[in-house]
Chain A
Amino acid sequence: MNKTMLIFFAVLAVAVALYYAFPFKARWTVLLGASLAFYLIVSTYLAVFALTTAIGVYFTARAVDKRNRDERELTEEQEKRRKRRNKAVVAVTIIVNLAFLGFLKYFNFFGASFCSFLNLFGLDLHFRALKLILPLGISFYTLSAIGYLIDIHRKKYAAEKNFFKVLLFLVFFPSILEGPICRYDQTGTLMCEGHRADYKGMLFGLQRILWGLFKKMVIADRVYLLVRTVSSEPSLYSGWVSVLFILGYTLQLYADFSGFTDIALGTGQLFGIKLPENFRQPFFAKSAQEFWQRWHITLGTWLKEYVFYSVALSPTMMKFGKKIKKKHKNHFTKILPTGIALLAVWLCNGLWHGPEWKYIVYGLYYFVIIFAGMLCEPLFAKFYKKTGINSECIGLRVWRHIRTLLIIFVGETIFGAPTLTDAFRILGSVFRPYDGAALSVGLDWKEYIVLLFGAAVLLAVGILNERKINVYEKIGGWVLPARWAVYLAAVAVIVVFGAYGSPYAAVPFIYGNF
């Protein structure tokens, strides 16, 4: 448990008490106050960036919306001019916001990479990195802001008239730390409505927060001890230790990120606000593509909506698609425009995660796998038809699960190793035997037992969710003593087996850095 989380829960406690004490219509102001207080305490003067984004987006959206709603009869030329002007204003606002993000997050990376590139040609350039601090949640609120603006531009819904409601949408404290990335029409409006105290909803919200804390404190922060030890000097380890790192980091990332998502969603439920789901049992996926429909769902849908469609449906791409299909009529030319749009999506995905080559390679890794899958689709179909093998037989289904898990493990190693070189070193060292005791690196056997227990609970809940059994409702339906026993046991497990205090480490949420 780190300091930011303690502040988060303190703000949450005050906000819940005040929210239901305020009259309906004014309840959203409590959320705004709590969100601003949280932001200012954690990010202090850096709040100016979020405020600037909110101001820019608010006025641009209002201006674009006003022009969109102009019902005067316009000539074709005037209509074209209006569209051009709207497009230009939206583009400028998006570029300015991306420039904030780009400068604060990527300046040092691109500067250093550019210098290294020029040095290849014999120039002796030294890049002096700037000490830049990222404002809290900049990667998340920038995407939400851009999405809102594009939606207004695409006339999906009307622009919000109240600036403070736009500000609340961007800095809503449960989702500012690690998402989920919200859409104004789905979540923003909910934030600004007053909600009645719903006993069941609040109960489920508390259950979900407890579940998130279990994932974070019992699983993620515990396995971090193993991950930290190996990643501090990957060259020292091989064999089973490397395997444990690969499995451990994947587990840590999932438990950490989905754990905070549970806390965020549970917090939303305490105010009657349903935030979008970000995970749907990702390790049950049968392909890399399906994995991304289950993992960080809101980022995937955002990229699909605002990057994929923007590239794939752009006039230039449409023209290009038609042209090559005319020249060469085959499967490759059919999917090439989609492939180019996908490349843009995966480059953005990689870059969004951070200013490092490993993240770019991580994005491209998934692009190559998914695009190769699309390319080979007709070949596989032909193969199954020719051989008469049932593509849905149990053997192939199991194989697809295993194959996807292997793809995920490699991907998360690229993502989690300190550098790209380390990632390849760890992956390459798996088949080299390790001399020491693998089960004592970073964790002792007692910690492993707790970790296995945590992972088993995680798996069991995953299986139930996959079978569409809502665990929260199931427990909520039990008789009072049984229900209380489960809640008290959950609290006791977190208090006793949580990996906090000495000798553990205060581990910040991994996605909080992105």
Chain B
Amino acid sequence: MTEGKKIITGRAFKAFGFLLALVAMLIGLYFAFAPSRGGKNASARSYDLNRIFNERDHSLDALILGHSGVYAGISPMEMYKRYGFTSYDCSQALQLPWETYEILSDVLAVQSPEVVVVETDHFFYDSKSVIRRNNNKRLGLSVYPFYETHVAWKDGFDPSARNALKGYMYTDVSRPFKGDCKMKPSDKKYKLGKRHEKYLKKIYELCRERGTRLCLVELPSLVMWDYEKHNTIREFAETHGINFLDMNERYDDTGINWETDTRDGGNHLNYRGAVKASAYLGEYLKDKYGLPDRKDDPAYSDWREDLNKYEKTVR
């Protein structure tokens, strides 16, 4: 072998060796950060959502599922602070109904909530671009799982750490909505996509099988929601005998101020909006489903600790 070839072979071996070391390190990191529970799709989910599996088994009174409107607009800790029941936001950006179903079945394997609250706007995420984006996101997360799990460093590299915000994502950014805050009345109905409708029914069936009650809720959002969607969900709720709360009909009761309570011009709520929406939803759930007050329950002392951490975060 000539000197030149020897050098090239040596370098090729070195490069290959380095790649092996790199892959070994990444695999090591993957196992260090991978969620220990959560079903086979756990690595394709957000880190905050997966931390629901770090809650004690059968300790949650309510689950709230849906798209980004949930983690932006409902703070389980605000509901705990006021009404004492325990809950968790199982939501991600652009979450689709079949993901909600997957998450719900995985969570119901370890939790037995009194009520499952499902946000309804994500049943209308039917455009091809949204579905493609969601598929790309899931593919990306399965190829590069660190995308979500690397934030475990904030828990001292402890993947079993509990989330004091219970799936809520705090933001105090404010960008007011400009325009008419009232929904335009309509008798029309938005036709649900076939797959979307199928999973709405599957979610309903799953809740029935597990003996938990389903409650459909639409959170305040001026950008995405309208009466056509409202009518479709109302019809489904009435047909199946389940409650449907559309907070967009009740701005006066919730006290949402679109000048100050939205982070992005009326689509998502910010912290101020989330406090109001959570207070309203908390009262509704307490009244309709008789959820218990666990504030003085010694078995739930960990929630009091989490509340302290939460207060520090949103202060």
* Chain A interface (Cβ < 8 Å from any Cβ of B): 199, 228-229, 232-233, 436-437, 440, 444, 446, 480, 484, 487-488, 491-492, 495-498, 500-503
Among the 9-residue stretches B21-29, B82-90, B201-209, the one with 4 or more Cβ atoms under 8 Å from chain A is B21-29
B153 touches A502 (CB 8 A): no
Taking a contact as CB atoms under 8 Å apart, the answer to whether A495 and B148 are in contact is no
Candidates A229, A497, A498; contact of B172 at CB < 8 Å:
A229
8 additional A-B residue pairs with CB within 8 Å, beyond A233-B173, A436-B315: A232-B173, A233-B174, A440-B313, A487-B18, A488-B22, A501-B146, A501-B150, A503-B169
Rounded to whole Å, the gap between the CB of B256 and the closest CB of chain A is 18
Give B residues with C-beta under 8 Å from A: 11, 14, 18, 21-22, 25-26, 29, 46-48, 92-93, 146-148, 150-151, 153-154, 169, 172-175, 312-313, 315
The answer to whether B153 and A496 have CB atoms under 8 Å apart is: yes
| Contact status of A232 and B174, CB under 8 A, knowing A492-B25, A497-B153, A500-B147 | yes
Residue pair B173, A495 in contact (C-beta under 8 Å)? no
29 A-B pairs with C-beta separation under 8 A: A199-B11, A233-B173, A233-B174, A440-B312, A444-B313, A446-B153, A446-B154, A480-B14, A484-B21, A488-B22, A492-B25, A495-B26, A495-B29, A495-B146, A495-B150, A496-B29, A496-B146, A498-B150, A501-B147, A501-B150, A501-B151, A502-B46, A502-B47, A502-B93, A502-B148, A502-B151, A502-B169, A503-B48, A503-B151
> Closest 5 A-B residue pairs measured CB to CB?
A501-B147, A232-B173, A502-B46, A496-B150, A446-B154
A501 x B148 contact (CB < 8 A): yes
Q: Which residues of B contact A484 (CB under 8 A)?
A: 18, 21
Closest Cβ of chain B: how far from A444's Cβ, in Å? 7
A491 CA / B313 CA spacing, docked (Å): 30
Known: A232-B174, A487-B18, A503-B169. Is A440-B150 also a contact (CB below 8 A)? no
CA A450 to CA B47, docked complex, whole Å: 20
Nearest neighbor of B148 in chain A, beta-carbon distance: A501
Q: Which residue of A lies closest to B157 (CB)?
A: A496
Shortest A437–chain B CB gap in Å is: 7
Interface of A is mostly: helix
Is the beta-carbon distance between A488 and B48 smaller than 8 angstroms? Answer: no
A496–B30 Cα gap in the complex (Å)? 10
Closest Cβ neighbor of B174 among chain A residues: A233
User: What chain B residues lie within 8 Å of A497 (beta carbons)?
Assistant: 150, 153
Q: Which residues of B contact A437 (CB under 8 A)?
A: 315
Provide the main secondary structure of the chain B interface: helix
User: Cα distance A487–B26 when bound, in Å?
Assistant: 13
Look across to chain B and name the residue whose beta carbon is closest to the beta carbon of A504: B151
How distant is the Cα of A501 from the Cα of B47 in the complex, in angstroms?
A: 9
CB distance from B312 to the nearest CB of A (A): 8
**B141's closest neighbor in chain A, by CB?**
A501
- How far is A253 from B119 in the complex, measured between Cα atoms in Å? 39
Across-interface contacts of A491 in B (CB, < 8 A): 22, 25-26
List the A side residues contacting B173 at CB < 8 Å. 228-229, 232-233
CB of B46 to closest CB in A, whole Å: 5
Report the nearest B residue to A450, measured CB to CB.
Answer: B153
Bound Cα distance from A248 to B21, whole angstroms: 36
Question: How many Å lie between the Cα of A417 and that of B11 in the bound state?
Answer: 49
A233, B175: Cα distance in complex, Å: 9
Nearest CB on A from B217, distance (A): 22
**Chain B proximity of A438: nearest CB distance (Å):** 12
| Contact call B150/A488, Cβ cutoff below 8 A | no
Residue among A229, A232, A491 with the highest chain B CB neighbour number at 10 A: A232
Interfacial chain B residues near A503, Cβ < 8 Å: 48, 151, 169
Given contacts A199-B11, A503-B48, A503-B169, contact A488 B147 (CB under 8 A): no
B73 shortest CB reach to chain A, Å: 16
How far apart sit A497 and B46, CA to CA, in the bound complex (Å)? 17
Q: In the docked arrangement, what's the CA distance between A458 and B117, Å?
A: 48
Residue of B nearest to A440 (CB): B315
Residues of B contacting A496 in the complex (Cβ-Cβ under 8 angstroms): 29, 146, 150, 153
**Chain A hits for B22, CB < 8 A:** 488, 491
Q: Which chain B residue has the least Cβ–Cβ distance from A485?
A: B21
Q: A500 CA to B173 CA in the complex, in Å?
A: 19
A484 to B16, CA, bound (A): 12
CB distance from B219 to the nearest CB of A (A): 19
How far is the CB of A501 from the nearest CB of chain B, in Å? 4
A residues within 8 A CB of B313?
A: 440, 444
**Cα(A174)–Cα(B146), bound, Å:** 26
- The 8 Å CB contact of B25, one of A199, A229, A480, A488, is A488
Minimal Cβ-Cβ distance residue in A for B172 = A229
Smallest CB-CB separation from A197: which chain B residue?
Answer: B8
How many angstroms from the CA of A20 to the CA of B26 in the assembled complex? 28
List A contacts of B93 (CB < 8 A): 502
Q: Which residues of A contact B48 (CB under 8 A)?
A: 502-503
In the complex, A284→B175 CA distance in Å?
38
**A483: nearest residue on chain B (CB-CB)?**
B18
CB distance from A375 to the nearest CB of B (A): 44
Residue of A nearest to B46 (CB): A502
A74 to B315, CA, bound (A): 81
**Shortest beta-carbon distance from A387 to chain B in Å:** 53
Chain A residue numbers with a CB within 8 Å of B11 are 199
Give the residue among B21, B46, B150, B313 with the most A Cβ atoms within 10 A: B150
Contacts of B169 in A (CB 8 A): 502-503
CA distance A498 to B149 in the complex (A): 12
A255 CB to closest chain B CB (Å) equals 19
Bound-complex Cα distance A62 to B46 (A): 56
CB contacts (< 8 Å) of B315 on chain A: these are 436-437, 440
Chain A residues with Cβ under 8 A from B18's Cβ?
Answer: 484, 487
